[in-house]
Structure 1
C-alpha cells in the first residue's frame, strides 16, 4: 500500500523549515505546504470525495498547484490536471471522460471551467471563492495519507490530441513514485540544496515528475514561472540561484537570444535538462558555451510517467542522443512488420517497465493498440548505436515520403539550425502531385539577422541529398507552440507546393 503524496509527507518531516515552492515574493515551507494540502484533503473528503474518485484541477504554475495536487492524492482521490487555457468545450470533454465530479479552478480559468462543470454535472470550486476558503478554514489537517494500492491510478494525464480525441493516460502510484525516484536519484542527482526552475507547465508530465515531484522527493526548492518568458526566466534563475534548469528546445533557443552576460548571473546553474522534442545539437553546444552548464537530453511521454531514457550524468554523453533507458525501463526498436529492427536500421520505439501506464482510461481499443505483450508502442522512430544510445529520427506520423524516399524532418531541422541566421525551424511535408509529398521548411530568423528563403534553401541543398532539401522555405515571425513550448507542426500552414521539380 502506498500513496504518491508520501513524497511530501516525508520531506515535510525531514525538511520542515526549508522552502518547498516559491513564486516571486510568495514562498511556502515544507511544513506549510504539507499542512495546506492536508487541510484540502480533509475538505475534499467532507465534500464527498472517496478513494478512487477523480478530481480535476486547472491552474497555472502557482504555489496552489502542489497544494491541490498533493491534497487530492492524500485524500485518496485521482488527480486530473487540465491545461488552464482550455475552453469550456474542451474541459467538458475531460470532465466527462474522466468522470470527475469536482474541479478546482484558478481564477484565471474559473469561468470556462464553471461552464464545463455545469454541462457535465460536476462541481466547480474557484480557488478565490468564499466557498473554497470557508472549506479550508473549517477543515482539520488530515493525518497522514489515505493508503492506495501500487497499481491504483494516481493521475490521469490527457494527451494533447495531436492524433485525434484526447486520451487519458492512467499513471499509477507505483509508476510515478519509481519514475520520480529514478529521476531525482540517478539523473538529476538532486539534494535539498538544489533549486529547480519551474517553468514547465506542472499539468504536463515533464513538469510534474521531473520538476515538482523530484524536487519534493528530496526536499529541494521549486521556483515557479507561470508563463515562460526568456528575460523573466533569466531573472528568476539569477534571483533564486537556480541550479537545475528543465525545459524544451524552444526555451533553450529563447534563453540564448535573451542572455546578457552583464545582467544575468546564472553561475549557480550546474545542470540543464532538455526533453519534449529533439534539441538541435548546435543549440546544445551554444547553450553550454554561453551559460556554462552541462546539458543532458532525455526522452519520454505522458504514457511513460514520463522518463524512458536519458544521458546519464555518471556515464559518457552523446550530443543529439536521447541516451539509454533509465533504471527500471527497457527499450527496443520494432520494424513495421512487428519484428525487431535490423542493427543500424530505423524502427519504432517500444518501452517496457515500471514507468509504463496501465492504459488509457475507459478506452480499451486505444489501450490494446498501444500496449502489446507488455510493451508500449510510442509512435516515435529512432535508431540505436553500438553503445546502446538511442537517437530520435522523428515521429512516425511526421515522416515525409518524397518520391519513394524517406525524409526525416529532424535531420533537415538540424541542418537549418546550423545556419547562423536561424533561430527556430520546423520541417513538414505538403502534398505534391509528382513526388507525393514535398519537403517544406518554416523558419524564424534570429533578432537582427537577415536571410532570404532562397539563401536558406541553398544552404540546406549543399548539405543533404537532393531528395531531402526543402523546395519550399517560408520565413515567419513565430512558430505555433503548445503549452510546454513544443512546436506544433499540425498548426503550421505553408503555401502550396510549387510546380513539380525533378531535381
Structure 2
C-alpha cells in the first residue's frame, strides 16, 4: 500500500541529497544518508509492530527512529524518560507495548524484563543500512503525544497522520509538491521531542528539507553559539527561555541575524515582549497552540505586528489560515466582540470537517479578530467569593525586575475556600525578599489577589515544554518538598 503523504514527504527529503548536512549535534554534522539509513532500518519493524514506544530525547538517534516509525506507517507512543525512573517504569508497564525504542542506558534502567526493545545510539553510530519503507495498512494515528502535564499528570493525545501532514505541508498534503533542493539556512531546534513543539519543529524542518541544529535542551550559551554561527532569520523560544535571553548579557550584535522570535506554549506578558524588542530590536510573535490541536491555531504575523501591535499588545494574534475561533458562554451561545467567555476552536489541522473543540481558556476576541487569553476557567481561584486569576498574579510578579519567573496556584483554605500561593525564582540570590515582593504587588493587584504565601526557590519545577509544573508547585505548598526555599506568609 502506498505511503501516506507525510511518509512520502519524509522519504523524498531523505533521498534528496544524501551526503549533505542534515542535523548538527554537539558540534558535529550528521548527513541525510545516515538519518535515512537509520530511519529505513526501523521502518519495517515499525510497520510490523504497529504502536511503538519511544523513549524520546533530543538526539539524532531518536529523530531518525521517529521518522522511521512514520515511514513504516506505525504509531509513535511518546515516553518521557525525564519524568523520573519510577513513574517512567510504571508508564511503560501500563502501556504494554510490543516494542520499546531507546538508548541502551534508558532501556536497561526503565524497561521491564521480557519487553521487546530496540537499541539506538544518540549520534547514529553504527546504524546498519538495511530495511525498507514500510508497507503497513493505511496509517491513522501517527503519534500518541504527551501533553505538557502542567496542571496534573500528563495524558496522551492521538495525533493523526493527516493532522501532522496539514501542520507542516499545508491544507492539502496529497497534492503538495515536494522540495527539489535543500533549503538554505539552518534552523535551531531546542523544543523537546517529547512535546508537540519539538515534534512540529523537527517535522517542519524535514518537510521543508531544511538542515537544523538539535539542542538537547535550551541552554543560553549553546543556543547563542548556534545563533552566531548559523545566523537564522527566525527562532522559537518558550517564555522562560525568552526571559533568559532578555536578562542575559547578549547584545543586539549577537542576535543581529534574527528578524522575528516566535513564542508559545505558555503565556508571555506584553511587557516582556516589548522589553525584548526594545533591547534587541526584534519583534516577538506570540501564538496560541495546544497538543490537542496538533499545533498552533492563532498567532501574530510580522505584517500584523508592524500595523497593530501598539493597539493590540497582549493579544496572541489572529486565527491561523484554516482555523476558526469563537468565544461562548456557559450554555454554548456565541458571544460578541470583546466579551469574555470560553474559547472554542476549529483547528485547520483537522481539516474542513473539524468539529468545534471547547478549551478551558477564558478569552475575548475583538472586532478585528485579535484574541486575548485572559485566564483558565479550570484554574480560577475563588478566595472568599472573589475570583483570582493565577496568570494575572504571575504576570504581576514577573514584572518585578528581580524576578526570573513565577508560578501561582490555589491552596485550600478552611475559612476562604481557597487562597493564591506563589513560587518565585529570582535572577540573583537575595536580590529581593518576600516583603519586597508583597509591597510591589500592593501597587498592582487588589488585596484579595495578593498571594497568602510566597516561596522563593532556587528553581521553579518545569515540564519538558518549559512551562511551570503546576502539579509539583501544588505539592510543594501542600507538604514536604525537596526544593530549597525561603517561605514566608505575605502580610
Alignment of 1:72-87 (within 5 A): 72-87=69-84
Distance 2:69 2:241 in 1: 31
* Cα displacement string for residues 53-103 of structure 1 (whole angstroms, at most 9, x for unaligned residues): 111111311111221011111112111222122445544555466553111
* Other-structure match for 1:19: 21
Partner of 2:40: 38
Q: Deviations over 1:383-438 (max 9, x none)?
A: 22222111122232221112222221212222222222222122222223343222
In the comparison of the two structures, how many residue pairs are matched? Answer: 464
Alignment of 1:212-361 (within 5 A): 212-261=202-251, 265-316=254-305, 317=309, 318-341=312-335, 343-356=337-350
Single out whichever of 382-391 and 284-293 deviates more from structure 2: 284-293
**Residue 2 in 1 paired to residue 4 in 2?**
yes
Alignment partner of 1:153 is 2:141: yes
SS at match of 1:7: helix
Aligned to 1:192: 183
**Residue 249 of structure 1 contacts residue 279 of structure 1 at CA under 8 Å; is this kept in 2?**
yes
Mark the CA change 1:87 to 1:443 in structure 2 (over 3 Å): closer, same or farther. closer
Q: Compared with structure 1, are the counterparts of its residues 339 and 500 closer, same or farther at alpha carbon in structure 2 (3 Å cutoff)?
A: farther
**Cα distance per residue 1:31-64 (max 9 Å; x no partner):** 442333123324x26xxx427x111111311111
1:499, 1:234 → 2: CA distance? 39
Q: Is the 8 A contact 1:480 1:491 kept in 2?
A: yes
2: CA distance, partners of 1:495 / 1:99 = 33
Q: Which moved more, 1:74-83 or 1:328-337?
A: 328-337
Does residue 123 (structure 1) correspond to residue 129 (structure 2)? The answer is no
Structure 1 gaps of 5+ residues are 186-190, 358-371
TM-score, structure 1 length as denominator? 0.82
Query: Counterpart of 1:467 in 2: which secondary structure?
Result: helix
Q: Which moved more, 1:407-416 or 1:156-165?
A: 156-165
Shift of 1:342: 5.2
Residue among 461, 465, 483 paired with 2:442: 461
Pairs within 5 Å for 1:51-62: 53-62=50-59
| Partner Cα separation in structure 1 for residue 236 and residue 302 of structure 2 | 15
Between the aligned partners of 1:219 and 1:499, the Cα distance in structure 2 is 54
Q: Within the alignment, does 1:206 sit opposite 2:194 as a pair?
A: no
Q: Deviations over 1:129-162 (max 9, x none)?
A: 9xx988x53x53525x64764x711111133555
The answer on whether the counterparts of 2:434 and 2:456 sit within 8 Å (CA) in structure 1 is yes
Is the 1:445–1:475 Cα contact (8 Å) retained in structure 2?
yes
In structure 2, the residue matched to 1:361 is none
- Which of 393, 401, 404 is the equivalent residue of 1:412? 393
Partner of 2:177: none
The answer for the alignment partner of 2:178 in structure 1 is none
The answer to whether the Cα contact below 8 Å between 1:20 and 1:216 also exists between their aligned partners in 2 is no
Q: 1:212 to 1:355 in 2, by over 3 A?
A: same
Length-normalised TM-score, structure 2 = 0.84
Q: Which residue is 1:429 aligned to?
A: 410
CA RMSD of aligned residues (A): 3.3
Cα distance in 2 for partners of 1:498, 1:466 equals 17
Distance in 1 between residues matched to 2:302 and 2:361, nearest whole Å:
24
In the alignment, the residues of structure 2 paired with residue 421 and residue 220 of structure 1 have an alpha-carbon distance, to the nearest angstrom, of: 39
Partner of 1:472 in structure 2? 453
Name the residue aligned to 2:176: none
CA distance in 2, matches of 1:334, 1:18: 51
